[in-house]
Amino acid sequence: MRIRPFLESDTEALIALWQRCGLTRPWNDPRRDILRKLDVQREWFLVGETDRQLVASVMAGYDGHRGWVNYLGVDPSHQRRGLGGLLMQAVETRLQAAGCPKINLQIRHDNNAAVGFYAALGYVEDATHSFGKRLIDEQDSTPPPSAASSSREVVLASRNTKKLREMQALLSPLGWRVRAVSEFSDEEPEESAVSFVENALIKARHAAATSGLPAIADDSGLEVAALGGAPGVRSARYAGVHGDDQANNQKLIESLAAIQGADRSARFVSLMVYLRHPDDPTPIVAEGAWRGRILEAPQGDSGFGYDPLFYVPETACSAAELAPEIKNAISHRGRAAALLQQRLHEC
């Protein structure tokens, strides 16, 4: 990726990029933001391009005390390639050369994906409050109603109490009350599909039908490269009995006994769906992935499932050793939930 200063001829392509990245808001005029930035430290308004197409951007600045960053975005089709990290490295190099001792960031409370991204780059949360006062009313500052803006109840297609608590925390920015499907039915639908998304839809349709509420379902699993993607969709019943974490972990250890080092690479995958009703023809689907490797022995006693065996390189510990708020920010389920919230706001 080639990183260069923003040019005024980039304006329309940049606004389209921001829209694809979900960075624009009805109460902020992106064109005015661009014009203002061109008047203030325009040399730190950077874009990235590949094959002459604009695929990334960042606005940076330095006020003599702290550096700041806004509008960092990478085209969804180019994400997970390290481009955001390259842009931040370019910003940090420029700010450090200018004598800037520290960068301060503001991240929306519901943007778990951004929290995980910056945490992986070494940024830590400060014990501060963020205050703002609008000085110029560019337009009505009240966001339009959306599927995510009203207080409501939703049913989670899971009987796992730990997953329920985790999902309640992940969806807390929406202000929704999350209820377990076990409140409404003792039946469990057969997860007979061969893909995560199909199994999530099976569970969500059942939960919506039995509860009369909109439903969210998450079908997650562990994919180990050396095992050809297993346990995959059978992760919860890898050892034969659904939900037996200890047996599943033991089988995974035995299956990888002859595999060493980098060949133990793996990833957690989450496919999350939202249905307005059981027959919803246009479900909202979001996905998330979390890469790591499988340990030779369990570590930690938090989390559930394969968490004790899943080593997370960016935190240098197992998923079961992470504080819940850190795990929720960087996990596969946290990333899927953040994307789901974004798509709910768009509909």
In 3D space, the residue among 137, 130, 83, 136 whose CA is nearest the CA of residue 105 turns out to be 130
161 labelled ligand-binding: yes
162 labelled ligand-binding: yes
307 labelled ligand-binding: yes
Helix (H) or strand (E) holding 137: none
Q: How far is CA 299 from CA 54, 200, 207, 212, in A?
A: 43, 29, 34, 41
276 labelled ligand-binding: no
179 labelled ligand-binding: no
Interior/surface letters 261-287, b for 16+ CB within 10 angstroms, e for the rest: eeebbbbbbbbbbbbbeeebeebbbbb
In 3D space, the residue among 118, 116, 113 whose CA is nearest the CA of residue 103 turns out to be 118
Catalytic: 219? yes
220 labelled ligand-binding: yes
Helix (H) or strand (E) holding 69: strand 67-74
190 labelled ligand-binding: yes
* Distance separating alpha carbons of residues 293 and 277, to the nearest angstrom: 38
304 labelled ligand-binding: yes
* Distance separating alpha carbons of residues 31 and 41, to the nearest angstrom: 17
How open is the CA angle 231-237-238, to the nearest 5 degrees? 40
In 3D space, the residue among 316, 315, 319 whose CA is nearest the CA of residue 301 turns out to be 319
Helix (H) or strand (E) holding 305: none
219 labelled ligand-binding: yes
159 labelled ligand-binding: yes
62 labelled ligand-binding: no
57 labelled ligand-binding: no
Catalytic one of 219, 279, 280, 301: 219
Which two three-digit tokens encode residue 175?
A: 């202000």
332 labelled ligand-binding: yes
163 labelled ligand-binding: yes
Binding residues for Mg(2+): 190, 219
Binding residues for substrate: 158-163, 220, 304-307, 327, 332-333
Just list the catalytic residues: 219
Binding residues: 158-163, 190, 219-220, 304-307, 327, 332-333
